[in-house]
Amino acid sequence: MSASDHLIPVVVSNVVEVNPIIKRFEFKHVNGDELPAFSGGAHIVVEMLDDGTKRKNPYSLMSSPFERDQYAISVRRDDTGRGGSKFMHEQVRPGMQMKISAPVNLFALDLRARKHLMIAGGIGITPFIAQMAQADKLGVPFELHYAARSVSQAAYMDSLADRFGDHVSCYCDDQGESVDLETLLSNQPLGTHVYVCGPKGMIERVVQTATSLGWPAAHVHFEHFLAPPVGEPFEVHLAKAGIDITVGAEQSLLEAVEASGTPINCMCRGGACGQCETVVVACDGEIMHNDHWLDEEQRAAKQRIMPCVSRFRGKRLELDL
């Protein structure tokens, strides 16, 4: 059983070029039905049928959780990635039918918060757009600090500033602007929760600054970008199925297992939720653990792997599948 077994048929209702590297895709249910309600920070998995290859990528929902006639996601084009974003940018057109999963939230607002402090970097803005709509409706104070490389890449910056006014502060690297985390995190009322979504370095800086200032860990929330990395092709033996499979360079191990027809649990497909955790029967080589689920000890033991994002290099990998 996995979330992506229960897909919702949708039609692409709109494709908008937000800037040279980001496009927004809007989906409606093929029957015109309402789509499932969700909470800010949730993502969906989009299934892409790309010339015989089935890819499933997670994208944060950016539409308002209170609008159920359509969903919206934004996709940043990554030409060095596995091809999912390239497919979305080049192949997906209005009127096309696709399949998406029901929403899953691994980056929810803590509803106990007296104030939500949101820090976004680049395309990491998308979950916050839905969360701001939610916080606004619930009447809970919030503040967004949004950093982008350049004015031309700062998707939705102007519209968010127009819509939420003083709640939004913007920073563009090419203008020499940056978030002063020390000052920002030193001056928050009790009961504030901080959320960060953006590049790895930014997440680390926010978590470190908050920790050194004495923020309780339970008040610091982050979401890493969810994208399986590319790598060298490798072979895997599936012990229960008794078969050998090859994982392509631009394919995840999870996708290769699915393509072989072997059952496997999964949900987020981004190394965060833990559903696809798989027992390693034998490993002669190195597992590239790219997940956020296993701890250091588990990684070193080489007895578990998260097939959605992790890869292998070496002589033999055998999994309990």
Q: Give the binding site for other proteins (CB under 8 A).
A: 1, 3, 6, 36-39, 42, 65, 101-105, 108, 110-112, 138, 217-218, 267-268, 273-275
Q: Which is nearer to other proteins, 25 or 38 (CB)?
A: 38
What would you measure as the largest C-alpha separation in the chain, in angstroms? 60
Q: Which is nearer to other proteins, 4 or 310 (CB)?
A: 4
CA–CA separation, 248 and 254 (whole Å): 11
CB of 227 to other proteins, least distance (A): 19
- The residues that bridge with 60 in the sheet, in sequence order, are 43
Q: Yes or no: say if 146 and 170 are a contact pair by the CB < 8 Å rule.
A: yes
Q: Yes or no: say if 114 and 141 are a contact pair by the CB < 8 Å rule.
A: yes
Q: Which residues of 291-318 are buried (b: 16+ CB within 10 A; e: fewer)?
A: bbbbeeebbeebebbbbbbbbbeeeebb
CB of 172 to other proteins, least distance (A): 33
The SS3 of residue 282 is strand
Q: Which is nearer to other proteins, 206 or 245 (CB)?
A: 206
Q: Which is nearer to other proteins, 172 or 273 (CB)?
A: 273
Q: Which helix (H) or strand (E) holds 88?
A: helix 84-91
Q: Which is nearer to other proteins, 106 or 321 (CB)?
A: 106
* 103 contacts: CB under 8 Å, gap ≥ 6: 36, 38, 39, 42, 43, 44, 61
The SS3 of residue 74 is strand
CB of 101 to other proteins, least distance (A): 8
* 252 contacts: CB under 8 Å, gap ≥ 6: 82, 228, 269, 307, 308, 309
CB of 137 to other proteins, least distance (A): 8
CB of 99 to other proteins, least distance (A): 14
CB of 178 to other proteins, least distance (A): 29
Q: Which is nearer to other proteins, 148 or 210 (CB)?
A: 210
Phi, psi of 30, deg, nearest 5: -60, -30
Q: Which is nearer to other proteins, 142 or 171 (CB)?
A: 142
